[in-house]
Structure 1
């Protein structure tokens, strides 16, 4: 049988193998389609534990709108299409919640805002790209876990803030969305580092919120926002990146309200674990190795002990933030990576830790645009031909090896 695999935004890689080997191709679940504009309008009219959007934006106070960067599939432009006419003439600042990521490219700005709205926002000078290391920060307090909450001055000094986010499974925070707009979104580098060190816990995993130290620390840290009036807009996307659900209102209430809808889309049931898993980081989540790693972490949930996990990720801009790469490149085995993390932690090491843990019990291979040396440095067996990688895996695991394919591996959480 032949199966097409998307590679980056526009390319397709076709693979051929015996149908008897296929355990299944598991996409996010098919769900009902809705009129997206109507979903958004309805959510604005019926907020959860908050005044209506029109009431929220009334008055002359400046409004700060937090939007996700270009590595997230959040349908920001669709939300803005509906609400921008209402805030066009308001005093406002859009802040890009980069966390510790790089600034968006011009193409990414147009993807985030839409070409038309971005042209207007850019001309007015109403957008700021958050820089966790160099922007002026304000200390607002600390969480029970002693994470010191330094937020970008633009947000910390605001009276009205509108975070626009999307909720889907996240490999160590449980789920994206909600509180992540502030931490890590617009937080200081050291604040993010303190929170993300908790990702080394085995309880920091996809779908888990209760007992997840990363999530619980973020939620607890939100108590420093009591002086800010927050109107959150949260979305859940389907596998076609269409809006499946939207709500608005209180930051935490909107987040938790989206969880059930996100599980309807992204949690898939598989009959058993496979010998070979092909997990794809879809556009735009294949932007770099740092982001694409999520496909590995979800893919491992479908993989049998000693199996081969093949990550397919274009990594069109390269490695991404370097600390995790430098750490992995400095150790010749996954075990030594974990030992180094125990000695000293820096932001990015959580990513290295999650990758190294898989290497203790399975083989990790990759098909990407990265160089062979770059892939080997992070303990990935390098390929540039997916068919060759699959043939080699079948040769190693045997003619009866079972294969699972996750075309949206970054967002699909397999469950037995």
Structure 2
């Protein structure tokens, strides 16, 4: 059979023997209708909350929190409808970058749309290091709760987010608008250290220490919050949406996101081709999610071929510095025990993967750079597959995860889903 794979500006055509193919995994398709109609319907029927009209009726000082460019949240579409409600308010916007690099101006235009970006002075990009913070105490796990001081300058908050599987927080969205979205670097670092806990798993909320700590931090905010949580389909169109109470909307959207992005798979593969789509294909720091999302459907000692342009190279490089300083993956864990830095959780995940599987990449990152962190580079998917088949044999079985930044293949055993 023929299969086309797109990464960056490259369209590669592959010929696959059907006898080797287990599955081609993509997010579930769901035709939910007109997106603007869906947004309006959600705002008219909020979950466990007063109406948005009543929420804003006093003409208050309003803060709107939005995602940065590393998420494919349909922010501009949501803001277009929300703007019909806040005309009497004094509105400020903050881009919840967490510890990410600030978006470029063209990325801001894409996030906000033409009407809002024209008032550029109303938009602040969060800086976890330099911005003044409001101290709200600590969580029960000892994580300091410090949020951008802008929250003390407003009366009410609206956060707009999207919900997809996340490899250690369970799901994106909801509380992540606050932690790590507008948190201090110290707060983010201490929270993300919890990702080293084995219970910090994809698709898991109950008992997940990262998620529970994020929830506890967000609960300390003493402002009224109205949330809009979106779920998008395989074409990045809104297929479900909830508005209202920030906890309830997140829980609702997480259930819907699992239906879209958790995809049943017949069995584990010898070879996994894991394709990362924009915006997570920006750099290796983000593209690594395609490794974690796919690993549960890969046999021990299997080969994962990560396909990601990574025009931004490695990205935030603390994880790379740690990995490249070690002779083998097992040394990584010893260095982490000596002291955790933000990004080391990613190094730990990659090191753990490399002790059980082989990681290959089709990417723009230079071969020598990848070799230092136990990754083998190939120039094309076809070449990588050819070599993998030579190593695993002519009967090797393959899975293609064509949107691995968000999609999680879940192997069914004895008619029951086996999650991470």
Q: TM-score range by the shorter chain?
A: over 0.9
Check conservation: 2:38, 2:240, Cα contact below 8 A. yes
Once the two structures are TM-superposed, the CA of residue 24 in structure 1 deviates from its matched residue by 1.1
Partner of 1:385: 380
Partner of 2:155: 159
Alignment of 1:22-37 (within 5 A): 22-37=21-36
Partner of 2:417: none
User: More deviation in 55-64 or 205-214?
Assistant: 55-64
Does 1:140 pair with 2:136? yes
Once the two structures are TM-superposed, the CA of residue 156 in structure 1 deviates from its matched residue by 4.1
- Provide the secondary structure at the position in 2 that maps to 1:291: helix
Partner of 1:61: 60
Deviations 1:106-158 (A, max 9, x none): 2211221123432x221xx0001101011111101111111110100112443
1:314 to 309, 313, 334: 309
Partner of 1:406: 401
Partner of 2:197: 201
2:119 to 108, 115, 121: 121
Partner of 1:236: 231
Does 1:415 pair with 2:410? yes
Check conservation: 2:230, 2:242, Cα contact below 8 A. yes
Deviations 1:219-275 (A, max 9, x none): 1222211x2010011011111100011111111111001122111100111111000
TM-score, length-scaled by structure 1? 0.96
Once the two structures are TM-superposed, the CA of residue 281 in structure 1 deviates from its matched residue by 1.1
Alignment of 1:371-382 (within 5 A): 371-382=366-377
Distance (whole Å) between structure 2 residues aligned to residue 117 and residue 68 of structure 1: 15
Distance (whole Å) between structure 1 residues aligned to residue 148 and residue 386 of structure 2: 49
User: More deviation in 388-397 or 57-66?
Assistant: 57-66
Does 1:279 pair with 2:274? yes
Does 1:178 pair with 2:174? yes
Partner of 1:70: 69
Q: Which runs of 5+ in 2 are unaligned?
A: 412-420
Distance (whole Å) between structure 2 residues aligned to residue 15 and residue 344 of structure 1: 45
List structure 1 runs of 4+ shifted beyond 6 angstroms. none
Does 1:299 pair with 2:307? no
Q: Which runs of 5+ in 1 are unaligned?
A: none
Distance (whole Å) between structure 2 residues aligned to residue 287 and residue 412 of structure 1: 17
Once the two structures are TM-superposed, the CA of residue 51 in structure 1 deviates from its matched residue by 1.3
Deviations 1:365-391 (A, max 9, x none): 111111112212222111221111111
> Do the aligned partners of residues 45 and 37 (structure 1) sit closer, same or farther apart at CA in structure 2, a change above 3 Å counting?
same
- Aligned CA RMSD, in angstroms, stands at 1.2
Partner of 1:4: 4
Check conservation: 1:142, 1:224, Cα contact below 8 A. no
Check conservation: 1:6, 1:407, Cα contact below 8 A. no
